[in-house]
Structure 1
Amino acid sequence: MILFTIIILFTLFILGGLLSYLVKGYYYDSTEKKFIDQGNKISKLVQKSLYEGNYDETISFLRNSQRFFEGNVWIVDSKGLILATTQQKELQGVRLNKEEVKQVFQGKIVKKRGFSNYFDEPVLFVAVPIIFSKKVIGAVFVYSPLAGITSTLSDLKDLIQYAAFIAIILTLLLSFTLSKSFSKPLKKMQKISLNMAHGDFDERVKINSKDEVGQLASSFNYLADKLQETIASLQNKEELQRRFVADVSHELRTPLTSIQGFVKALRDGVYDSKADKEEYYQIVLTEVKRLIRLVNDLLNLSQIELGQIKMDIKGLDLKVVIRRSIRNLLPRIKEKDLKIRIDLSKDLPLVLADRDRVEQVLINLVSNAIDFTPKGEEIKISSELKDDRVLVMIEDNGPGIPKDEIDDIWNRFHKVDKARTRDRGGTGLGLSIVREIIRQHQGEVWVESKIGEGSIFGFSLLAGD
């Protein structure tokens, strides 16, 4: 507000001074022009009588016409003698100095402002030559005290000052209003930012304009929304990390407890036969292998999430990868006497993907289908092209997934059937790894399932050219 006021007052001061100067100059120039016009008219009216030496007629004309004159008038003859005046009759008969009449008797119009020997105050006067038959025979002096002009200018100056005073009042009101309109949302933002620093992200700035301040308020609200989302995400991640640590601890504790128990039994010789001893060793070996798988899966998942594994993305024939994945799982498929039906589109295009990672996804999903599909049943693998993506679906005839657990199956260590999964040696990280790999390929994963009817796990990959 102070800055606005100073700028506007300074501008008014400059404009007021400049306006006063211009008006003063204009007024002087205008008065001089009127005096010159009046002098020329008087010159034409008295030139004949002055030439003929009829001074009484000249004096009579001047006295009878003075009420029509703008200023005071002198009539001067060719010798510089004042013949007649409209005022100061005592000057009649006074001879003017040659220097004062020299220029006018050369046929020039003379203009002067300031003091003169014949006046006690500054005046503005002009001298117009009286010319008859191409000869200067006298001059008309028209003058007016500057005091009268100054009075008029003083009134004008007062008017400017009054206008400036009103402008100042309006300026103060305007600057106060503008400053308030600017500062109010800024103060609001300051208050909200302090609240945000203390964890309160609920309040927002009300936007009443589309100017720069309104845009700033809009950006501030956007920032607050993003911060709130980020903090919520961080809090969620922190909660997930706590759960992750708890889950890892639980997953590690079970095999370690088992290993500890059997190692103590072996150390203390607590077994009935050599067969029992071999069984204990086998259990310890199985649990150690399980721990290794768990650690490897955790490391693998962490590297994928952090982008530490570079994906070798190139055109890939899904048919080849699917058949190769099935071939790797044939022993388990034969063990359960399962049937694998592969139903792929004939015109299936290449996909943009990393061969090893896509094979890892397929092995994980088909392996789960093998685990949960009853003996002698069928697992179906199908594909289709939809827009610019290739969809792959793995369908099993397992027990299905409860509806309230479908959204959680992609989380780390989530197990629908915990006992059965542990028996199979699963780590509970397979689907989490699948999701992260597909995300790295800019694809999506999903599941459809009904209790007692089985499940369909699917993923999508970008189609190549």
Structure 2
Amino acid sequence: MKNNNNYKTQKREIKEQKKIFKKQMKEEKINLKRERQIENSQNRGLVNRVKLFARRFWIKFSKSRIGNKINEFIYWLMKRIEKSIRFELMVVFAVCFAISVIFYGISNNILSRDYTSSSIKYDYETIKDKALHLVNEISYEKEEVGVYRESIENTLLMYKDSKIKVYLTDLDGKVIYKSNGAGEEKLDIYAILDKSNNIASDGEERTLLYPIKIGETRNYLIYSEIPTPRINIETYKGEKSFFALILSVLVFISAFIVITNRKIKYLDDIVKGVNIVSCGDLAYRVEEKGKDEITSLAVNINTMTEEIERRIQSERAAEKTKGELITNVSHDLRTPLTSVMGYIGLIKDGKYENETMMKEYLDIAFSKSNQLKELIEDLFEYTKLNNNGIVIDREKVNLVDFLAQIIEEYMPLFDENSLKVVKKFADDKTEVNIDTGKIVRVFENLFSNAIKYSFKPGEVVISSYQNNGYANIIIKNSGETITKEKMDKLFDRFYRADEARNSNVKGSGLGLAISKNIIELHEGKIWAECIGNDISFFIKLRAV
């Protein structure tokens, strides 16, 4: 029983320990997550602080004198690049060259091979240093040789190496002291001096002679030693790598292609556009990008395409006009010509009862002949005006007096057709510079139209006024209402508002078209408006 209870107690304790362990693990994970979040926020905060510092630094730098100069230079450079393709290519070339040079420096440093060279060198400088050191040491051995003999001998005993020979001689070359390796008792000072002045060959014994003074005695110190050979190993890099040079050229080409890719694609688009236009699609337009010479080329291509399209449309319209002109002229010439031939044929065949009837036939034929003549004259004048075949002979006239004179000449026709003329001239001093003969023809056409199409009895109101440097003339009469569609066609050749070419109303249908051409030759405007039954013609000419 006790064992059972112990087992259950142990089991509960194990479960509690597991719960505690899981709780601790969970808390550790939470703490770890918090630490990471804090670390990330700190990193982000550091990045933001760096960005903020860089932004503030750039703002302050931009406001400084040097910053302003740099900004002005960058602005000038961008404007030049934007407007000049040649300057842009120069800048691109310079940038690509700089990139390739930097790349060459890095790649050459990486790809260059290490070279090793070995040589044997003989250390003659050390021999010289040792000799000088010995000279200084013996020179300081006080004043007399005899007094410090033991000290000098002890110094020379240090050079026991058989490679080193040290002699201390008098001025005649007699050896006073010598090292253990030296065997000569007397030396040839002149030969040693000559040997000391010459440069020894590699590995050859080096002999040096120095005059020294010990006390009051002058002596020579001769130092000879065979140099120790040393193997010198040197490692160095190759100055230039051919592979690095090739890579730099490839980098230059790649950078140039990448930077100029946008312009090359634009040139391709222009070429494609020209091909499309050359195939007959004149509605196509090349996209205009930028402000440089390539854009100017695109603009010129579009302008040329528009001009070609306009001319082709003009030629088509001219061909259509020519066809309509032939048709209309044929109809308008045939009608009076048929009448003339008919009545002359009756007279020729004697198909009249008396001379009175014959005279009546002749009057009708003569009237139709005059109508035919007027039509031919109108057609001839319209052709000359339309083909710029008429030269304007201008002169300065008073517009009110000019209009009054023409109205006076037309008064019998107005009276005959029961039309009252109302004149409203606001300014009797208005002057215009016109070709009087041509402008008379304009007013004759307008007055004739007013007489033909006015309600009878009725009135024709003729008014003029000056405004903003222009003389304005208005001719108004009452007649059948004309729709806007018909009003827009009134100044077309051979157009009549009644649309019946066999109408009893006489006229060639060219009068208003001729009037429009004459007014446009005077750099003026003419148009018509209809409000209810009131039909008004407006003329605008530049006042003097």
Counterpart mapping for 1:31-70 below 5 A = 48-49=132-133
Aligned residue for 1:412, secondary structure, equals coil
Q: Find the partner of 1:157 among 222, 234, 240.
A: 240
For 1:297, the equivalent position in structure 2 comes to 378
Q: Find the partner of 1:321 among 395, 402, 409.
A: 402
Q: CA deviation at 1:239?
A: 1.7
Does 2:206 match 1:93?
yes
For 1:79, the equivalent position in structure 2 comes to 197
2:277 & 2:499 partners in 1: Cα distance?
A: 43
Aligned-pair RMSD on alpha carbons? 4.1
Q: Which amino acid aligns with 2:512?
A: L
1:290 & 1:250 partners in 2: Cα distance?
A: 13
Aligned residue for 2:464, secondary structure, equals strand
Q: CA deviation at 1:167?
A: 2.5
Specify whether residues 430 and 92 from structure 1 end up closer, same or farther in structure 2 by C-alpha distance, changes over 3 A only. farther
Q: Which amino acid aligns with 1:80?
A: N
Q: TM-score, normalised by structure 1?
A: 0.67
Aligned residue for 2:197, secondary structure, equals coil
Unaligned runs of 5+ residues in structure 2 are: 1-89, 106-123, 139-155, 162-193, 209-230
Deviation digits for residues 67-124 of structure 1 (CA, Å, limit 9, x no counterpart) = xxxxxxxxx98512449xxxx6x244399xxxxxxxxxxxxxxxxxxxxxxxxxxxxx
For 2:471, the equivalent position in structure 1 comes to 390
Quick check: which has more Rg, 1 or 2? 2
Aligned residue for 1:447, secondary structure, equals strand
Q: CA deviation at 1:258?
A: 1.8
Deviation digits for residues 14-51 of structure 1 (CA, Å, limit 9, x no counterpart) = x99xx9xxxxxxxxxxxxxxxxxxx9x99997895487
Aligned residue for 2:478, secondary structure, equals coil
Deviation digits for residues 328-367 of structure 1 (CA, Å, limit 9, x no counterpart) = 2122112113211110113642112212222221111112
Q: Which amino acid aligns with 1:268?
A: D
Specify whether residues 269 and 94 from structure 1 end up closer, same or farther in structure 2 by C-alpha distance, changes over 3 A only. farther
Counterpart mapping for 1:186-205 below 5 A = 186-205=267-286
Specify whether residues 195 and 271 from structure 1 end up closer, same or farther in structure 2 by C-alpha distance, changes over 3 A only. farther
- Asked whether the 8 Å contact 1:415–1:421 carries over to 2, the reply is no
Bigger mean CA deviation after superposition, 226-235 or 170-179: 170-179
Q: TM-score, normalised by structure 2?
A: 0.58
Aligned residue for 2:240, secondary structure, equals helix
Specify whether residues 252 and 347 from structure 1 end up closer, same or farther in structure 2 by C-alpha distance, changes over 3 A only. closer
- Asked whether the 8 Å contact 1:441–1:461 carries over to 2, the reply is yes
Bigger mean CA deviation after superposition, 200-209 or 336-345: 200-209
Q: CA deviation at 1:430?
A: 0.6
For 1:258, the equivalent position in structure 2 comes to 339
- Asked whether the 8 Å contact 2:454–2:477 carries over to 1, the reply is yes
Deviation digits for residues 409-428 of structure 1 (CA, Å, limit 9, x no counterpart) = 10111011255985343111
Does 2:527 match 1:458?
no
Specify whether residues 233 and 80 from structure 1 end up closer, same or farther in structure 2 by C-alpha distance, changes over 3 A only. same
Q: Find the partner of 1:223 among 295, 304, 313.
A: 304
Q: Which amino acid aligns with 2:408?
A: R
Q: Find the partner of 2:315 among 234, 255, 258.
A: 234
Q: CA deviation at 1:184?
A: 3.6
1:146 & 1:189 partners in 2: Cα distance?
A: 68
For 1:335, the equivalent position in structure 2 comes to 416
Specify whether residues 45 and 335 from structure 1 end up closer, same or farther in structure 2 by C-alpha distance, changes over 3 A only. farther
Q: CA deviation at 1:384?
A: 1.8
Does 2:350 match 1:269?
yes
2:374 & 2:411 partners in 1: Cα distance?
A: 21
